[in-house]
Amino acid sequence: METSEKKELFTIPIGPQHPALKEPGSFRFTVDGEIVTSAEVRLGYAHRGIEKGAEGRSWVQSLYLLERVCGICSHVHATAFSLGVEQLAGVTAPPRAQAIRELVAELERVHSHMLWLGVAAHEAGFDTLFMYSWRDRETIMDILEGLTGNRVNYSANLLGGVKCDVGDPQRDTILKGIDMLEERTRHYLDVVTNDAVFLQRTHGVGTMTADQAELLGTVGPTARASGLGKDVRVDAPYAAYADFPVKIVTAEAGDLEARFQVRLRELFESYRLIREILDHLPPGELTARMPRRIKPAEAVSRVEAPRGELFYFLKSNGTDMPERVNVRTPTICNMTSVVKMVVGHQLADVPMILVGIDPCFSCNDRMVVVERKQHEAQGWTWEQLRRYGIDYYRQIHS
Amino acid sequence: MSLDLPKQWSDALNTVRGWARINSPWVIHFNSGSCNGCDIEILATLTPRYDIERFGIKLKGSPRHADVLICTGPVTRQARERLIRIYEQMPEPKFVIAVGSCGLSGGAFQGCYGVMNGIDQVIPVNAYVPGCPPRPEAIIDGVVKLLTSLQNPPTPDVAEPSPDQREVIT
Amino acid sequence: MNTEETLAAAAKILSDPPRPAEITRPTPTWMNALLASPDDLLPMAGALLDEHLGWLSCVTGLDPGIEAGYLEVLYHFSAGAAVITLRVRRPREIPAVPTLSDMIPIAEVFERELHEMFGVEIIGLRNINKLYLPEDWPDGVYPLRKDFDPAVLNVSG
């Protein structure tokens, strides 16, 4: 322990989390009084060795492995992988399959953003909003289960197409559910835009300009909230996005409030797309023939996960097993922006800034280690840090 | 805590303790490196549709207050130490529920260099809830089965680790 | 600038003397540029950024196998629909590349991963702490290399 500096050192394990974040682990930062002066990210907590694992499995087995990189955005991983393998083999999935891929992707985006809304609300101490949004989210879970057979890890993709079709009963269920969710989303947008207590935690907090977002390689809604118009669905349409295009949603303020608004406004775009696809679903086959052995080639596959650009690099070697699968998840890009953004902010804002990039799911066992010069190292829980933020703002308000 | 009580008093105390534990178990959740699929279904059990709290089950943040550890994930190398520490911090009697295929055997990640291939490779497990992920109903069912087994002698559904198995497997 | 224009502008930069890169187009939107020397990496990446011809989206390490004698590093720059991949080959025995992190902050996490997974030395990178692998991972063991033997992990605990 140094004797010359009066800084306090916090280590916050972000907790075992979501691997759209590949592997979260800990977040070390130094605090001078109330202000954060430096930060570093150290991951590894959920590192399972998936890229190597794919090299020891067949292409088909790898699909099931890669679906489970992340349970919250499982479909986009499977889609990116399937599109990439199809590219290697020179195969195009039929139009109906691509449209269903897009349909499930947008349904997944809805579930993911609602999940995030609840988690973010919980971080801010707004548990009512957490309970309401997760209750409403059950509608999407039911829709996905009715369509694909599972609430999570839908496994809709096959190499060459999809395995689930959309019939009339499902269509009606989906449309009814979307109507309900759209009304609820309007309510949530009103809350995050107008609730004074909530705005205290988000307005003007964690601001990042478009230039900073660009320099730091930020992606997804986090980047779009700073005015950076990056969206793979628009920039490089894949699946059926050329036939069913999305209108990009951005904001200018670049603060936490903007990030809330962008994600919620994106949901309206998702609802619109879901209705449009259901109205104009192309007829035809669900799969195209795929060879078991893939000729030697390389491919790059990019899709827009709920958190931002997901980048896959694939290499085949003429066998039925991948030569190389490289997965670059969006949260690793956005984590860099958090590490830079958090400097200069106060401790009380850290939980919300972290959740603002949608690093996925909060876990109970996050621990913070506070090292102080004069005192023994103390163990804080993330719960304590979260409460610290809530109480801090409550005091200001009163 | 050992008090020198007459037998009928210590029996009564044990019954109250058992009743309190069964009817209001405090649970800690730990993710040892899962894809989060199981974790969001566990979290869903807290939300209005499933509402696990009406069964008296409370999710706590600290292992020192917990009766039951609900654990997901195939146990990555990085998470292994933390899992052992959490298990050791829990006061006796303690119980472990492994949720999800990964927790049972490594699941989809079996054989990957980063994982230990299942929670019972690291700590003793009392109940296994299979699924990828298991539905919230299945998770609740697993918890209830475990609690029921505390009232009755061990059933085939739920395993009671023998005393020497209670040491942490390293 | 549309995709074709972007790729044409990139090709012009990448084929500049004295050491033009070897350019291929596997797909209409993807350009590969095999650099003649790792010393070209910084100036060419810098030129791409200056002309707004993409942002660093991903860094991929490749091990073609022991016989090939080299490791390859791919730097993927995305610009709209276009992807421009700069490729650098380094001898397997002493693979080293210069860091891009001074110019591109996000490169740091990509390079840390490259280092721990493939054993590529990143010259000038200040933070070489483990990113994904655990602290007690044995030195000199690079899991994404083709000659990685998982048995090594059981021996060391």
Looking at the predicted structure, is the pLDDT value of residue A61 above 60?
yes
Residue C60 and residue C74: Cα distance in Å, rounded? 5
Chain C environment of B113 (Cβ under 8 Å):
143, 148, 150, 153
Confidence of residue B3 (pLDDT cuts 50, 70, 90): low
Tokens 């509608």 belong to residue: A139
Same domain, A326 and A336: no
Same domain, A220 and A340: no
Q: What tokens were used for A112?
A: 């993911």
Same domain, A174 and A218: yes
Q: Do the Cβ atoms of C134 and B77 come within 8 Å? A: yes
Residue A126 and residue A160: Cα distance in Å, rounded? 44
Structure confidence at residue A392 (pLDDT): 84
Q: Do the Cβ atoms of A138 and B33 come within 8 Å? A: no
Q: Is the dihedral of CA A164, A165, A167, A172 positive or negative?
A: positive
Strand order in the sheet with C22-27: C22-27, C30-34, C82-91, C70-79, C55-62
Q: What tokens were used for A64?
A: 């099931």
Flag the least confident range among A181-190, A288-297, B30-39: B30-39
Chain A environment of C83 (Cβ under 8 Å):
300, 302
- Rounded to two decimals, the pTM is 0.89
Which of residues A275, A306, A330 is at a domain's end? A330
Same domain, A196 and A283: yes
Looking at the predicted structure, is the pLDDT value of residue A149 above 70?
yes
At B113 the three-state DSSP class reads: coil
Which of residues A312, A330, A348 is at a domain's end? A330
Question: At A363, which CATH number?
Answer: 3.90.1010
- Percent of chain A, pLDDT > 90? 63
B146 CB-contact burial (10 Å; exposed 0-12 / middle 13-18 / buried 19+)? buried
Same domain, A23 and A115: no
Same domain, A348 and A231: no
Tell me how crowded residue B17 is: count the other CB atoms within 10 A of its CB: 12
At A264 the three-state DSSP class reads: helix
Question: At C120, which CATH number?
Answer: 3.30.460.80
Interface test with C, best of B78, B81, B170 (most C CBs within 10 A): B78
Same domain, A172 and A287: yes
Confidence of residue B169 (pLDDT cuts 50, 70, 90): very low
In a domain, A301, yes or no: yes
Residue A136 CA: distances (Å) to CA of A147, A185, A305, B49: 18, 9, 21, 10
Average pLDDT, integer, range C13-39: 92
Structure confidence at residue B54 (pLDDT): 80
Same domain, A272 and A315: yes
Of the partner residues C74, C81, C130, the one whose CB lies closest to the CB of residue A313 = C74
Q: What tokens were used for A169?
A: 């009963």
Does A27 or B136 have the greater pLDDT score?
A: B136
Structure confidence at residue A367 (pLDDT): 36
Residue B107 and residue A299: Cα distance in Å, rounded? 28
In a domain, A3, yes or no: no
Chain C environment of A295 (Cβ under 8 Å):
none
Of the partner residues A44, A236, A302, the one whose CB lies closest to the CB of residue C132 = A44
Question: How many domains are there within chain A?
Answer: 2
- Residue A37 Cα to chain centre, angstroms: 27
Q: Do the Cβ atoms of C153 and B78 come within 8 Å? A: no
Chain C environment of B76 (Cβ under 8 Å):
134
Determine the structural domain holding residue C61 and report its residue range. 3-156
Looking at the predicted structure, is the pLDDT value of residue C28 above 50?
yes
Beta bridge partners of C71: C90
Looking at the predicted structure, is the pLDDT value of residue A377 above 60?
no
Chain A environment of C80 (Cβ under 8 Å):
235-236
Interface test with B, best of A43, A52, A152 (most B CBs within 10 A): A152
Question: At A138, which CATH number?
Answer: 1.10.645.10
Residue range A225-247, pLDDT digits in tens: 999 999 999 999 999 999 999 99
In a domain, A378, yes or no: yes
Q: A–B: how many Cβ contacts below 8 A?
A: 139
Q: Is C140 on the interface with B (CB under 8 A)?
A: no
CATH class, domain B25-149, is alpha beta
Q: What tokens were used for A202?
A: 């988000």
Of the partner residues A297, A311, A340, the one whose CB lies closest to the CB of residue C76 = A311
Residue A164 CA: distances (Å) to CA of A103, A167, A178, B16, C21: 11, 10, 19, 52, 45
Which residues of B, range 138-157, sit inside 8 Å of A by Cβ?
none
Residue C150 and residue B51: Cα distance in Å, rounded? 43
Inter-residue contact A16 to B70 (CB < 8 Å): no
In a domain, A266, yes or no: yes
Alpha-helical segments (H) within C2-89: 3-14, 41-50
